Structure 1
């Protein structure tokens, strides 16, 4: 009996280690997400919205019918959603339009590696209902603060379901001043004359270094 007990112990230990390893692998995306930066959470940026709706259920095939733009993004690169807070560029020097080509605004021009490319896909992204006077909310896990935020809204007549997003489609509607480091920042924006589906494009220039975030939020003005 004594020999049998010791013989079984290594097998039980190996099974326990395998289960712990599997659990650790499952938690890697969440840990990576939790260690990074921030995003616009209301109205939700494209990848934050996909993570918010499907992060706990991202293997559900129903997403393909219920939320096809998130589906294609999850299929293209799940890390774009697990890293919803890492869509930034360093060293742009405020020259955003030169750094980000037309058609790549929602990925911040981050085509290397293809992580965020799917965020530029044209189609019927899920929208957040807002009014012409609305509030933009940032969640910044690392409390970087901001030199400024610039908020653009697409011009009336632009159709995000059929057209790639270009700088010429946007109108600057709001620019803020500086914000001290904080995990939660919010400010009010007015975008008169809009109805229906639009894209809110926010540039967050962080204050801890020359680091700029480029964030597309799909909205419906009601």
Structure 2
């Protein structure tokens, strides 16, 4: 083969490689993933096989990742627990109230716990709870939630530890509710959404019961 032909093919190959690298580097990737242990989330209950017939979430409870900006943006109503991902739609099904609920004391101090399978630069963690009298038979929506978080933990772009605890005061509630925890990533367009079923009582012997880690 002539020398000029060899050089031409080499140039084409180098150009293709550069284009591939450029394309790869231009795609934003979120390396952070995680789930809530306390109060335990639906995703983790499925991973623990405490709850059956969960679909794909049982293998990756850390992957409920969707657009950030909640409540003004983010996943659509009715898709909050799955972060808008169709493959995790089982998380949005209320199952007639059959999801196990963590027992909580209204107005008490509580330790909210996350396990992060990979850490990522973080804007903040926010916690929302359903309103008194919310529709427990419908998939979680913004209208069911108090859209002012009862706990906000700012991070300012720092990377959290793999296992983190946020201490805060629970809102005043009674009966069965849902807590939506939102972990907002600082340097991508995404956040992680975790839904936990809880039961508030005025006084119980423990502030919370987890169903495993």
Q: Same fold (TM over 0.5)?
A: yes
C-alpha spacing 1:107/1:97, structure 2 compared with 1 (3 Å): farther
Q: Does 1:180 align with 2:180?
A: no
Q: Does 1:140 align with 2:116?
A: yes
Q: Paired residues, what number?
A: 163
Q: TM-score under structure 2 normalisation?
A: 0.69
In the alignment, the residues of structure 1 paired with residue 174 and residue 65 of structure 2 have an alpha-carbon distance, to the nearest angstrom, of 29
Partner of 1:167: 142
In the alignment, the residues of structure 1 paired with residue 143 and residue 135 of structure 2 have an alpha-carbon distance, to the nearest angstrom, of 13
Q: Does 1:121 align with 2:117?
A: no
Q: Deviations over 1:190-220 (max 9, x none)?
A: 2332012110001101345333001100111
Q: How far apart are residue 145 of structure 1 and its match?
A: 4.7
Q: Following TM superposition, where does structure 1 have runs of at least 4 consecutive aligned residues deviating by more than 6 angstroms?
A: none
In the alignment, the residues of structure 2 paired with residue 185 and residue 206 of structure 1 have an alpha-carbon distance, to the nearest angstrom, of 15
Partner of 2:42: 46
Q: Which has the higher helix share?
A: 1
Q: Deviations over 1:163-194 (max 9, x none)?
A: 22110111121211105331011112323320
Checking the alignment, whether the CA contact within 8 Å between 1:107 and 1:116 is kept in structure 2 is yes
Q: Deviations over 1:87-123 (max 9, x none)?
A: 102xx35255433111111111112xxx100100022
Partner of 2:205: none
Checking the alignment, whether the CA contact within 8 Å between 1:39 and 1:84 is kept in structure 2 is yes
C-alpha spacing 1:147/1:36, structure 2 compared with 1 (3 Å): closer
C-alpha spacing 1:190/1:211, structure 2 compared with 1 (3 Å): same
Q: Deviations over 1:19-66 (max 9, x none)?
A: xxxxxxxxxxxxxxxx972111111110101222x2xxxxxxxxxxxx
Q: Which has the higher strand share?
A: 2
Q: Which has the higher contact order (CA 8 A, sep 6+)?
A: 2
The two structures, once aligned, show a CA RMSD in angstroms of 2.1
C-alpha spacing 1:107/1:209, structure 2 compared with 1 (3 Å): same
